[in-house]
Structure 1
Amino acid sequence: MTTDEDKSSCAWEDPYALALRNGHGPVYLRLGAGRRIRMPVHRWYAQPTLADESVLSRCVGPVLDAGCGPGRLCRALLSRGVFALGVDVAPRAVAHTIALGGVALCRSVFERLPAEGDWQTILLTDGNIGIGGDPRALLYRCVQLTAPTGSLLVEVDPEDVDERCTARFEDTHGHEGPPFPWACLGAPALHRIAEDLVLSVTDQWRCGHRCFLALGRHDSASGRRR
């Protein structure tokens, strides 16, 4: 039952928070240049897809899911006996993850996190390479979080893009959420940043329309992966 208080809450709640609250969209990401991307809210609440499975099969625990949303990936890993922790700045996303049996913290990946330097896999899927609007800073932070033998599994835009912008979430009625820094990267741009950070692209694959890369550290002296 929806009360008058609920309706009042919905009136001011931003479109992204409402999508998380309701478990469905449509909700769009409006980028600085005007491009609008429909967010796959239904996928966030569904069982892992074939593309998701291609990522999950490459995960070695412990796993940190950065920007976990409602937690479908970290919950799937836990159900398979792989420890995974989700982190997200959206309280509703974290609450949903925990309610369905996942483990999650309401925190930015740039804040202090448990087991820094010991994570074997960090996930940056569903466009989360854009977190903070500076992919280089984000990847550098993720390197700090991973073990020397760890890897980063990153989903990139299927197109050759390299865009930093101020973005907003919006709904079909034109209601907008607050602005935040964001970025969209394709594989070529990620290759360039990885090289700059002395990271190796150890794997690259597509599944349907989605594109992923695996990154690992290099030994700066020998050039071989540690």
Structure 2
Amino acid sequence: MNTAQDTPQAPQPPGAAELTPRQPQPWTDDPYARALRTGRGPLFLRRPDGWLLPLDVERWCAGPDAADTSLLSRCRGPVLDIGCGPGRLVAALTAHGLPALGIDVSPAAVARTRGAGAAVLHRSVFDRLPAEGRWSTVLLVDGNIGIGGDPRALLGRLRQLTAPGGRLLAEAAAHDVDERLTVRVEDARGRHGRDFPWARLGPTALGAAATAAGWTPVDAWESGGRHFAEFTR
């Protein structure tokens, strides 16, 4: 997921530029990087009490599925994918001729996205970003509502990035949860990174947080057991 002075190696949306890096962030640790390099898990988020949330590494590293396609069909360029991971969505948008940029704090994710021919920056969503206030669509999927552990602050930041009348396409957890967690990335052998704050929001909590951050709900839908919502600025 995002930090360095990398520049996209594929055509980029207007306004992209080199920007100041931040300190290292979660998701840069070996278990996650190893999983992205191989394209395989198992990989988990572990809470201090032992609770485990499986991470869908194989799906992230594959091509877009039917649920992804239902999301991508709503995109209007230019598109910013927050925490793009291995880049399947950015690559698909690029292949269809839409200007799109991914950002991620993981060097392994950035390398894999770049290898797929998509534009990507090694950067956090809370860093200064190209074309702030001019993105037509912002994507927040694959659990990335959890970034930073404060969904309302994250959603407020995304509103700063989006153009007037632009849209946010976000994925919620499958169940109606509203949780603030401390977690770490861990593999099946118990190798792990450092603890960091995270969050999980189900559809109801996502809608409430987005509304509180100034977004207007437009639509919500389910595909392949995954739950999505569209909001407008």
TM-score by length of 2: 0.85
Query: Which residue number corresponds to residue 158 of structure 1?
Result: 174
Q: How high is the sequence identity, in percent, across the aligned residues?
A: 57
Name the amino acid aligned to 1:157.
A
Q: Is 1:123 aligned to residue 142 of structure 2? A: no
Partner in structure 2 of residue 22 of structure 1: 38
Cα distance in structure 2, aligned partners of 1:151 and 1:33: 37
Match of 1:140 in 2: 156
- 8 Å CA contact 1:14–1:178 kept in 2: the answer is no
Q: What letter is aligned with 2:77? A: G
Once the two structures are TM-superposed, the CA of residue 198 in structure 1 deviates from its matched residue by 2.8
Aligned 8 A contact 2:37 2:108 in 1: yes
Distance 2:169 2:49 in 1: 27
SS at match of 1:160: coil
Ranked by relative contact order (alpha carbons within 8 Å, sequence separation 6 or more), the top structure is: 2
Shift of the 152–31 alpha-carbon distance from structure 1 to 2, 3 Å rule, reads farther
**Does the 8 Å contact 2:156/2:214 carry over to 1?**
no
**In angstroms, what is the RMSD of aligned CA positions?**
1.1
Does the 8 A contact of 1:63 with 1:119 survive in 2? yes
**Structure 1: gaps spanning 5 or more residues:** 1-12, 218-226
Q: Provide the rounded CA distance (Å) in 2 between the counterparts of 1:31 and 1:54.
A: 32
Q: 2:88 aligns to what? A: 72
Structure of higher CA gyration radius:
1
Alignment of 1:172-211 (within 5 A): 172-211=188-227
Match of 1:222 in 2: none
When the two structures are superposed, what TM-score results if normalisation uses the length of structure 1?
0.88
Separation of aligned partners in 1, 2:75 and 2:86 = 19
Q: For 2:119 and 2:167, how far apart are their aligned partners in 1? A: 21
Write the letter of the residue equivalent to 2:37: R
Q: Which amino acid aligns with 1:199?
A: W
CA distance in 2 between partners of 1:79 and 1:16 (Å): 26
Q: How many residues are paired up?
A: 205
Change in CA separation of 1:164 and 1:32 when aligned onto 2, cut-off 3 Å: farther
Work out the CA distance in 1 between the residues paired with 2:153 and 2:38. Answer: 33
- Runs of 4+ aligned structure 1 residues displaced above 6 Å come to none
Structure 2 portions without partners, runs of 5+: 1-28
Report how far residue 32 of structure 1 moved. Answer: 4.9
Letter paired with 1:148: P
Stretch of structure 1 that moved more, 170-179 or 86-95? 170-179
Deviation track 1:132-171 (CA, whole Å, cap 9, x = no partner) reads 1110010000000000010110000010111111111111
1:39 aligns with 2:55: yes
Change (3 A) 1:150 1:93: same
